[in-house]
Structure formats: structure tokens, C-alpha cells
Amino acid sequence: MNKLIFATNNQHKVDEIKSVIGNLFEVISLKEAGIDIEIPEPFNTLEENAVTKSETIYKLTGENCFSEDTGLEVKALNGEPGVKSARFAGDTRDFTGNLEKVLLKMKGETNRTARFRTVVSLILNGEKYQFEGICEGRITEKAEGISGFGYDPIFIPNGAAETFGNMSLAEKNNYSHRKKATEQLLDFLSRYGK
């Protein structure tokens, strides 16, 4: 077991996951696997969406696979955008529109506390497993930086002085929710079957 299909069409996520996994396992994106589908994310939790994505690809291929779903949870917005993070400003998945909507809703708000939460769903030999990574931080007053994707330019992780948007991928991995979830996945895979 050294190959895993990653059930995503988001190349940014593929790059981030591969930067953590390195050469320990071969991660194959949907595009690399020749799978051209958009998997719906209709549910109200990250967990359900992540499972649906991995189940869809497992049923299609019969191959070991994993997926992830990530949400930005802002305390002052009662956890929004949360599971709707990718479509917060509409179904077009407009990253700029999404973060502008968060900044607009946060205007004048003093409690800027937020967190990124990633749920990874793994299907290995037909069995399902889940892993979670959380990065606590805060929302900035304005977008800063052009690195990363999504809400990275408006999120400063705890312990850092600048946004994910101002960090290299290696710097982001010092704090990243996605890295934390992926490390749990890796730890599980390294112990699996022992």
C-alpha cells in the first residue's frame, strides 16, 4: 500500500498535502488519475462532506483514497463560513469574493478569533478512518499577501506575526491545519498492519 488517490480538483490542496507526505506515499490527484468529476459537497458538516468525497472515488475506482474538507470558523460569525467556506459568496467558488464577504461581516468587530479546521477522510482496504487538524488564529482588518489560497490573506495563526498570505508553504506548514491532519494520516498509515 504505497499509492493513494487524493479526491480533490484543488491543486493548491494537492501541493500542500504532497509537501507534508513527501516520498513516503505516492499521492495521485483526480486529474493525475484521469478522473474528471466534480464531487458535490451538500452536507452541513466537514466530516460528512469529506466522507462523501472519499466514498465517491472509492466506489468509482476501488482504490485506496482519501479526501479532505476544510472550513474557516469565525467566532464572531457563529462559526461561519465553516462548511460553506468555498461557496460563502456564492456557488462560483470565488476566493476573493469569499474573503471580502468575511471582512465585510467583520467590519467593526473587536473579537477577531477564528480557526481553520481540516477533516481528512481515508478509505483503506474498504475501511473508513477520519483525522482532524485545527489551526487557531485571528482575522485581519484587510487582506495581506498573495501566497496560498482561499482565506490565507486574512488569517494570522496564533504565534505568527503575519498572515498565511505572506508565508511560503514551508512557513505555513509550521502552523497549518491541513498539515496537522495529514500528519495524523501519515502516523496512522505508518502503523497500519503492524
Cis bond before residue 81 (omega within 30° of 0): yes
User: What's the grid cell of residue 81?
Assistant: 463560513
Tell me if residue 187 is catalytic.
no
Q: In terms of DSSP bridges, do strands 3-6 and 81-82 run parallel, antiparallel, or are they unpaired?
A: unpaired
Q: In terms of DSSP bridges, do strands 65-74 and 113-124 run parallel, antiparallel, or are they unpaired?
A: antiparallel
Q: What angle do CA 182, 184, 189 make, to 5 degrees?
A: 95
Q: Which of 36, 69, 91, 152 is catalytic?
A: 69
190 C-beta neighbours (distance < 10 Å), count = 11
The catalytic site residues sit at: 69
